[in-house]
Each structure stands twice: as structure tokens, then as C-alpha cells.
């Protein structure tokens, strides 16, 4: 019997060995991949980078596939397979001897003996799929990764405060997204500045993390303040840009609309930033163990009102806004009554710390009411102004002026000096500022809209 016949009988065993090796090496590769995935996910939790699902799954899949591929391409000599068969099937080196012996008169009987013993052995009997330490490590790491990804959704009692913290962080980001919505929308335009694009990108990343429960309330408040500061910086840059455009008198209609939008948003950003700072202060105070029961109750009440106020900036209906304002006024009246009587909720004399806290809360309540009033007044102001016939005619004239200026040759640019054009457009800006101070007076809105129309007409006459 030739050696090739023995090698042919060893083929099923070699195939089985490779399958078992693939089972083991895939666990090794999967474990290594899971370690990288957990590190990637940890970086996402810490806010170092954003871990997309594909970036978490890719190292795991790569590790498993690498282990399988290695098992099928690695060298696997027939001698090694023969030794494994002899050891596991207890054949006393029959197969190894028959494979390695030189051609002699004893070779044929040795090979026949080895084949007769091999015939009674199945590959699956001696090469089995077993769970190893690597499989255990892979399972534990996979559970850890799943817990890390679904932690905010797990209905466990001891995670209640964690889920509430993530819920409040999500609300903070949604409120911020509402206030900075004009910037996000304008960042999509071709003429958007790098700062606008950066703010929009940061806000999108913040929103994604909050939706996945990866953002704590403390971090959300800090990042919200940072984004509002950058938005204020953008506001200042926009005003400078508006001034430059006004001097050239080329896009007067866009200038006026942009100015109105910036003014309406600026007040909301300032008020929201103040409310966020107060929210952080409340969170810090609530962590103190030295608070009295009255102090803790007052802080919790203020926190709830503050959350409602932040949610209501630009989003509440008239009825909801009215209810919230009533709640703020009731809280304000209660605090004033406590200060006047000098007694807390339990009827005991106010301590100096409690009195100081009451005064701080009164200031905070006034800030909340002012923020809500500004938000509502800004919307009402823009609605009334845009619907005024005089203002609509002014916008039409400005658009006509813009088209006329674009059609002129460079030598035909308006005879009026740039300084005069700037002065005229400043009249428009001044009229808007005066109009913004009279949100609730319809008659004054109509009067100032008429003045805007007259200013635009003078501008048009001077520019053509």
C-alpha cells in the first residue's frame, strides 16, 4: 500500500482539525476585537470621539474573520495530524509510524494496521468543538459591550437616577437645538462661515450623544453654555458683516432680514445661557448634605420650574405659556411671603442661609419670566412686522433696489457716497431697534413700519 493512500485517509481528519482550529481562533480574534470595541465605546462615553455602530461592530467582525482565515491558511503538516490522531484515539503511534517509516518489508503491514485502526475512528469523535477560556472571555466582553450600549434603557431600579439624569440632559440639548436652529439651518448654505458650520457640527454631535443616553446633565449644561458663547461670538461677527454689507448697499433686503433674525435670536441666547448657569448652580447645591429640608424643597421646586422654562422658550402654545407664567408667579408670591414673614415652610424662623437662598430664587424666577416674555414677544413682534403692509412694500422696494444695483456697470454704481448709504441703512436699523422695544403696541408697530418704508424709498431714490 502506498503512502498516498494513507494520506488520502488522513484528509477528513485534517479538514476537521482546521474546523476546530477555526472555532478556537475565531474566539481569540473575537476577544481581541471586543477589547478594541469596548475601548472605542468607552471613548464615546467620555466624549473623546463618536462611536458609530459600524465602528463598534467592525473590530469584532474583523477579529472573528481573521481567526477563521488564519485557521484555514496556516501550515498543518500531515505528521502533526497523525500525532494528534494517535494521542487522542490512543493508537500508540500507529499512524505516525506508518506515515514516517521508510520503504521496507515491514512498511506494508504497518500501513495496513494503521488504516484498519483509522477505519474505526471518526474525525468528529476525537476532534470536538469545545468551549475554551477564549470563548468565555469573548462572552463576558460581549455582555459588557451590550450593557454599555443599552445601559440607559435597562429597567433596573438602581439605574432610576441615571436614567433621569440622561433624560434631563436630553431635554437641555433639545432646548438648545431649538434656540440655535437658525444657525444650524444657515450652516447648510454655501455662504455659511466656518464658525457656523462648527457650531452646527458640535450641536449635531451633542444631539446624537444625548439621544443615545451618552450625555450626563452636567456635561450637557457645560457644553450648552460653550455653544451659546460661540453663538454669541457668531452674533458679533454677523453684526460686523451686516455693517460691511450695508456700506456697500448691495444686499439691503438681506441685510435687514438678517439683522432682524440676529436681534431676535440674541436675546434668547443670552437669557438661555443665564438659565443654564442657574441650573448648574442648583445641581451643585442639591449635592450638598448640609441642606435643610426647606432648602432642598425650594431647590427642587425651582429646578422643575427652570426645566419647564427652558423647554418653553419658543415652543409653548399661548395656553401653556400662560399656565407656566402663573406657576412662576405663584412661586414668586410664596417666596416673597416667606421673606416677609421670616418663616420657612415648616413655620420655623428662617436661617441666614435660607434667607439668602430665597433671595437668589426670587432673582432666578424673575430671570425665567423675562426669558419667556422675550421668547413670546420676539415671535409676536416678527409676526406683526412681517404682516404689516408698509413693511412688505419696503421689502419689495429693497428687492428692486438690489436687482437694479446688480444690473449696473461698475462705473454706474450709485452717485450717492458710501457714507451716505451707510447712514440711510443705519436709519433702518435704528427704526428696528425702536420697534423691538414696542412689541405689544400694534399702533407703534404700524407707525415704525411706515417710517421704514419712507427710509427705504429715500434709499432707493438716492441709489438709482
Are residue 74 and residue 174 in the same domain, yes or no? no
Are residue 292 and residue 225 in the same domain, yes or no? yes
Taking residue 286's Cβ as centre, other Cβ atoms within 10 Å add up to: 13
Are residue 373 and residue 254 in the same domain, yes or no? yes
258, 242 contact by CB (below 8 A): yes
Q: Which of 99, 131, 150 is the last residue of a domain?
A: 150
Are residue 145 and residue 166 in the same domain, yes or no? no
Q: Which of 384, 410, 439 is the last residue of a domain?
A: 384
Are residue 312 and residue 171 in the same domain, yes or no? yes
Share of the chain above pLDDT 70, in %: 63
Taking residue 128's Cβ as centre, other Cβ atoms within 10 Å add up to: 11
- Domain coverage including residue 126: 3-150
Higher-pLDDT residue of 170 and 23 is 23
Least confident of 378-382, 409-413, 453-457: 409-413
- Using CA atoms of 235, 238, 243, 246 in order, give the dihedral in degrees to the nearest 10: -130
Share of the chain above pLDDT 90, in %: 13
What is the C-alpha separation between 53 and 30, in angstroms, rounded? 16
Q: Which of 130, 150, 170 is the last residue of a domain?
A: 150
**Crossing angle (nearest 10°) for helices 352-387 and 418-436:** 120
Are residue 420 and residue 334 in the same domain, yes or no? no
Q: Which three cell numbers mark 412?
A: 454706474
Are residue 311 and residue 411 in the same domain, yes or no? no
Tell me the pLDDT band of 386, cut-offs 50, 70 and 90.
low
Least confident of 28-37, 93-102, 146-155, 286-295: 93-102
What is the C-alpha separation between 279 and 271, in angstroms, rounded? 12
Tell me the pLDDT band of 411, cut-offs 50, 70 and 90.
very low
What is the C-alpha separation between 299 and 72, in angstroms, rounded? 66
Higher-pLDDT residue of 458 and 63 is 63
Q: What is residue 21's predicted lDDT score, i.e. its pLDDT? A: 94
What is the C-alpha separation between 302 and 328, in angstroms, rounded? 9
Range 179-197 average pLDDT: 84
Tell me the pLDDT band of 453, cut-offs 50, 70 and 90.
low
Q: What is residue 434's predicted lDDT score, i.e. its pLDDT? A: 53
Q: What is residue 408's predicted lDDT score, i.e. its pLDDT? A: 47
- Residue 195 CB partners (closer than 8 Å, separation 6+): 230, 233, 234, 237
Task: Answer whether residue 409 shows pLDDT above 50.
Answer: no
Are residue 251 and residue 163 in the same domain, yes or no? yes
Least confident of 43-52, 152-161, 243-252, 430-439: 243-252
Residue pLDDT, tens place only, 220-277 = 888 888 888 888 888 777 665 555 544 444 444 455 555 555 555 555 556 566 666 7
Higher-pLDDT residue of 385 and 342 is 342
Chain mean pLDDT for the chain:
74
Query: How far is C-alpha 334 from the chain's CA centre?
Result: 38
Backbone angles phi, psi at 313, to 5 degrees: -70, 100
- The widest CA-to-CA distance across the chain, in whole angstroms, is 122
Q: What is residue 58's predicted lDDT score, i.e. its pLDDT? A: 94
Tell me the pLDDT band of 436, cut-offs 50, 70 and 90.
low
Higher-pLDDT residue of 451 and 208 is 208
Least confident of 78-87, 247-256, 368-377, 448-457: 247-256
Task: Answer whether residue 80 shows pLDDT above 80.
Answer: yes
Global confidence as pTM: 0.50
What is the C-alpha separation between 230 and 173, in angstroms, rounded? 15
Q: What is residue 415's predicted lDDT score, i.e. its pLDDT? A: 45
Are residue 284 and residue 226 in the same domain, yes or no? yes
Task: Answer whether residue 61 shows pLDDT above 90.
Answer: yes
Residue pLDDT, tens place only, 324-343 = 777 777 877 887 888 788 88
Are residue 231 and residue 356 in the same domain, yes or no? yes
Are residue 331 and residue 442 in the same domain, yes or no? no
66-103 burial, b if ≥16 CB within 10 A, otherwise e? bbbeebeeeeeebeebbebbbeebebeebbbbbbeeee
Range 55-72 average pLDDT: 95
Q: Provide the number of structural domains found in the chain.
A: 3
Residue pLDDT, tens place only, 291-300 = 777 777 777 7
Are residue 212 and residue 342 in the same domain, yes or no? yes
Task: Answer whether residue 125 shows pLDDT above 90.
Answer: no
Range 37-63 average pLDDT: 88
- Nearest residue to 271 (alpha-carbon basis) of 170, 377, 380, 372: 372
Q: What is residue 135's predicted lDDT score, i.e. its pLDDT? A: 96
Amino acid at each position: 500500500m502506498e503512502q498516498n493512500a494513507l494520506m488520502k485517509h488522513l484528509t477528513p481528519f485534517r479538514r476537521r482539525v482546521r474546523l476546530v482550529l477555526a472555532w478556537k481562533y475565531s474566539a481569540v480574534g473575537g476577544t481581541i476585537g471586543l477589547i478594541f470595541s469596548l475601548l472605542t465605546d468607552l471613548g464615546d462615553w467620555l466624549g473623546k470621539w463618536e462611536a458609530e455602530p459600524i465602528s463598534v461592530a467592525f473590530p469584532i467582525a474583523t477579529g472573528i474573520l481573521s481567526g477563521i482565515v488564519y485557521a484555514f491558511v496556516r501550515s498543518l503538516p500531515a505528521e502533526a495530524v497523525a500525532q494528534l490522531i494517535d494521542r487522542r484515539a490512543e493508537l500508540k503511534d500507529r499512524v505516525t509510524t506508518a506515515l514516517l517509516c521508510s520503504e521496507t518489508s515491514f512498511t506494508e503491514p504497518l500501513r495496513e494496521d494503521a488504516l484498519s485502526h483509522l477505519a474505526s475512528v471518526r474525525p468528529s469523535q476525537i476532534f470536538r468543538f469545545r468551549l475554551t477560556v477564549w470563548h468565555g472571555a469573548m462572552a463576558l466582553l460581549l455582555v459588557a459591550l451590550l450593557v454599555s450600549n443599552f445601559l440607559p434603557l435597562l429597567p433596573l431600579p438602581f439605574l432610576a437616577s441615571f436614567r433621569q439624569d440622561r433624560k434631563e440632559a436630553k431635554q437641555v440639548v433639545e432646548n438648545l437645538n431649538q434656540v440655535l436652529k437658525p444657525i444650524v439651518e444657515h450652516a447648510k448654505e454655501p455662504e455659511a462661515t466656518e464658525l457656523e458650520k462648527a457650531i452646527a457640527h458640535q450641536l449635531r454631535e451633542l444631539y446624537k450623544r444625548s439621544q443615545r443616553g451618552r450625555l450626563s446633565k452636567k456635561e450637557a449644561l457645560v457644553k450648552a453654555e460653550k455653544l451659546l458663547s460661540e453663538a454669541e461670538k457668531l452674533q458679533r461677527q454677523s453684526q460686523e458683516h451686516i455693517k460691511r454689507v450695508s456700506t456697500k448697499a448691495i444686499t439691503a433686503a438681506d441685510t435687514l432680514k438678517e439683522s432682524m433674525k440676529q436681534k431676535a435670536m440674541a436675546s434668547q441666547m443670552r437669557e438661555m445661557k443665564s438659565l443654564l448657569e442657574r441650573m448648574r448652580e442648583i445641581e451643585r447645591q442639591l449635592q450638598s448634605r448640609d441642606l435643610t429640608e426647606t432648602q432642598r424643597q425650594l431647590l427642587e421646586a425651582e429646578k422643575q420650574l427652570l426645566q419647564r422654562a427652558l423647554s418653553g422658550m419658543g415652543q409653548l402654545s399661548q395656553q401653556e405659556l400662560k399656565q407656566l407664567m402663573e406657576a412662576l408667579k405663584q412661586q414668586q408670591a410664596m417666596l416673597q411671603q416667606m421673606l416677609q414673614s421670616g418663616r420657612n415652610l415648616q413655620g420655623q424662623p428662617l436661617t441666614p442661609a435660607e434667607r439668602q437662598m430665597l433671595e437668589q430664587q426670587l432673582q432666578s424666577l424673575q430671570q425665567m419670566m423675562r426669558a419667556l416674555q422675550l421668547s413670546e414677544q420676539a415671535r409676536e413682534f416678527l409676526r406683526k412686522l412681517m404682516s404689516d403692509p408698509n413693511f412688505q412694500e419696503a421689502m419689495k422696494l429693497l428687492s428692486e433696489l438690489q436687482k437694479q444695483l446688480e444690473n449696473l456697470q461698475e462705473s454706474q454704481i450709485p452717485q450717492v457716497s458710501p457714507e451716505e448709504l451707510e447712514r440711510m441703512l443705519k436709519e433702518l436699523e435704528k427704526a428696528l431697534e425702536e420697534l423691538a422695544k414696542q412689541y405689544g403696541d400694534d399702533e407703534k408697530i404700524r407707525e415704525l413700519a411706515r417710517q421704514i418704508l419712507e427710509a427705504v424709498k429715500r434709499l432707493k431714490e438716492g441709489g438709482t
